[in-house]
Chain A
């Protein structure tokens, strides 16, 4: 039977783990024997991308074609990549999706595709280690990831041909690995300082229930920041020839050297190095631990605020234990800082590098087996979800730290006489103004009957699922007819784009995409058969015997095709069933709309999926007039 796997898709390093026959979570080997796969992808002009340590080694020499820390770009729209993140990369931000431009402008890839390359390697390694393709998987994300970043991560998983059972917050995963290990009880803090992100979560463990009380973080705080500071100092002191505007290649080399020196200072008091850099440069460096600590202290201090707010949000003053996660928590200064902050020695029984992957494996295994009686994860949404009101202020609909899945509904009204449309701008964040929050989606609710201002009632419902991903629906309540619009925000990639990429990947990769299509089209076939079956039950009377027979015959054809292995055949039969049942669907629609006119509700039939472009940076657009 295929085994479920847990994946820690890290900024710096990625890992894959599973639960073995003896019920112990184990990290699997990747990348030729190591357990950590550097999250580096090198794109050679001609061939397939290279992932891992090999790719990382290319970085100094081919900086623009080697993507490091791609996680920082996940779920980012045009214009919302921070200047300090852009680094040396070139971006194509013309479309709705940000792309990284490579190979001298001949190639452009989305962060989702880059992440999918990493996931493919993990998947392949897992398949080798387990002796067969893995089953479902759990991918971890920083607790602080917003909706767009979560969507992007899920898309990357799909693109890599993985069945993503769940996105799991990294600190929760760590707690899971610890809590199960120790049968602990009490309130715990998880302090996760990785390469690129910092998260702190407060959890209560009790009788197998892991309840996240609060989570706070900074998506731009980590070991990378240490490296930049160290590199700058070392270059000022020992770069030859002296160079005030070093090229990307030289910078990359210096940062890589800085990282190595910094990591060595964890075990040593002083490190000396003499490193060859590209373009005839050379870096001679000597750094003591005390000097390092003086340099990075300000960055470490930036973790204090989030820890304090997490405690405040959780309404606790002290914790029973602190779990360290992330490679950067090996730094002695960080450990001292944590000890002082929480007034106790942090727990380090588990390796901070692997603890997240281990927890992910535990969760994947549990999900795969239909959940575990003894464990329950109650996670929260990290950032409030709101809607932009007149004047650009945000009205919060779901507050941060609400346990997920969660939903909330609020009513709004028009502000102009005769207003027939309302722009709903969905944002995420804690700031008061929409322009300071993350813009997730914008859509227009149309068809409000013209009425004086303030009379119409529009009800907006936000629903967050167990992955922390949002769905928004809006309906107009004033008239007898309810209108319901489902908005599933699409961040960056549309369904077709993902499909297109999958098709393209057939040409390159060894992935068995056909198999995946087969599964997906079977699921789709099931869905269609099921919904027709239930429609026959409700409205079978709308069909003549001949019509019914025609549909039945094609449904049989679809069933047969689904039993086979040709996904194109299934697809063709689905189209055929659709065509045969089109008139039926229309009649049902009519019938139910007639009922609605008679004062009943229009049910699912009036639901329509509204696609909308991601619009960021626009300052107008509140719950505003869309013309009459």
Chain B
């Protein structure tokens, strides 16, 4: 593979270099970088949150546009690009749902855009029950019930996260499990909505 060169002093660089070792100028994001590699991480679902945050902050310190307010326009632009990518990467990786979806995408599986529906009748049936309970609690303005529903939905979400984590542990997940993972993610969306509606309702009813 051809090595990139520094745009300023034309030194040959390792791909992924942030700053040219010779002239110290910030370098563009390489096309080959993904959200994981940007943060120096393996493409894995399992992730240490504290470690992710530490990496994000360390990189932010050097890449943030605040460090380049007085730099030349090109450096300013590159810093903005890099910091944007970094923030986007952090946003994706810290949320397990987005992280899982991103891994599916990186693996080249197109489970979402094939227009598949993931919800099975049983699950939808169950959702109807959740929704009914929620609607009742909302119309009663029953803060306790709303909190209970939010807690229960959160517990479901934790369960789904664990399940998805387990699937990614499978060495062959990308050949066998994408649809199963996508199904879990689609379920998670239902529970996320329940949590949001229940909490908003509880806050509104609390006044």
Contacts and interface: CB of A to CB of B under 8 A. Distances in A.
A314 interface: no
A305 interface: yes
Interface string A356-398: 0000000100111111010011100000000000000000000
B57 A466 contact: no
B161 interface: no
Interface stretch (B13-21, B80-88, B169-177, B180-188): B80-88
Interface string A290-330: 00000000000000110011001000000000000000000
A144 to B, nearest CB: 18
Interface of B is mostly: helix
Contact of A373 (B61, B91, B203, B207): B61
Interface string B72-102: 0100000010011101101100000000000
Given A209-B57, A404-B87, A371 B199 contact: no
B69 interface: yes
Contacts of B67: 370-371
Given A309-B203, A370-B70, A465-B80, A402 B91 contact: yes
Interface stretch (A232-240, A405-413, A606-614): A405-413
A416 interface: no
A165 interface: yes
A403 B64 CA distance: 11
A389 to B, nearest CB: 17
B65 interface: yes
Nearest to A409: B88
A376 B206 CA distance: 37
Interface of A is mostly: mixed
B69 A463 contact: no
A366 B69 CA distance: 9
A304 B199 CA distance: 16
A540 interface: no
Contacts of B80: 405, 465-466
A411 to B, nearest CB: 8
B84 A405 contact: yes
A136 interface: yes
Interface residues of A, number: 33
Nearest to B113: A411
Contacts, number: 74
Interface residues of B, number: 24
Contacts of B68: 370-371
A165 B69 CA distance: 7
B107 interface: no
A93 B202 CA distance: 42
Contacts of B83: 405, 466
Nearest to A534: B7
Contacts of B199: 312
Contact of B91 (A209, A371, A403, A527): A403
Of residues A304, A366, A368, A403, which shows the largest number of chain B Cβ atoms within 10 Å of its Cβ? A403
Contact of B87 (A209, A309, A406, A526): A406
Contacts of A371: 64, 66-69
Contact of A403 (B61, B69, B90): B90
A166 B84 CA distance: 16
Interface in A156-196: 165-166
Contacts of A526: 73
A376 B57 contact: yes
A78 B70 CA distance: 37
Given A305-B203, A312-B203, A376-B60, A407 B88 contact: yes
Interface string A452-475: 000000000001011000000000
Contact of A406 (B66, B70, B88): B88
Contacts of B84: 405-407, 463
A373 B57 CA distance: 12
Contacts of B90: 403
A465 B65 contact: yes
A308 B57 contact: no
Contacts of A466: 64-66, 80, 83
B61 A376 contact: yes
A367 B70 contact: yes
A403 B87 contact: yes
B71 to A, nearest CB: 7
A377 B66 CA distance: 8
Contact of A166 (B69, B71, B87, B206): B69
A406 B82 CA distance: 10
A527 B76 CA distance: 14
Interface string B190-207: 000000000100010011
B160 to A, nearest CB: 19
A414 to B, nearest CB: 16
Contacts of B91: 402-403, 406
The 7 closest A-B pairs by CB, nearest first: A371-B67, A367-B69, A405-B84, A466-B65, A403-B87, A371-B66, A165-B69
Given A363-B66, A406-B84, A406-B91, 17 more contacts: A305-B203, A305-B207, A308-B206, A309-B203, A312-B199, A367-B69, A371-B64, A371-B66, A371-B68, A371-B69, A373-B61, A376-B57, A376-B60, A403-B91, A404-B87, A405-B65, A526-B73
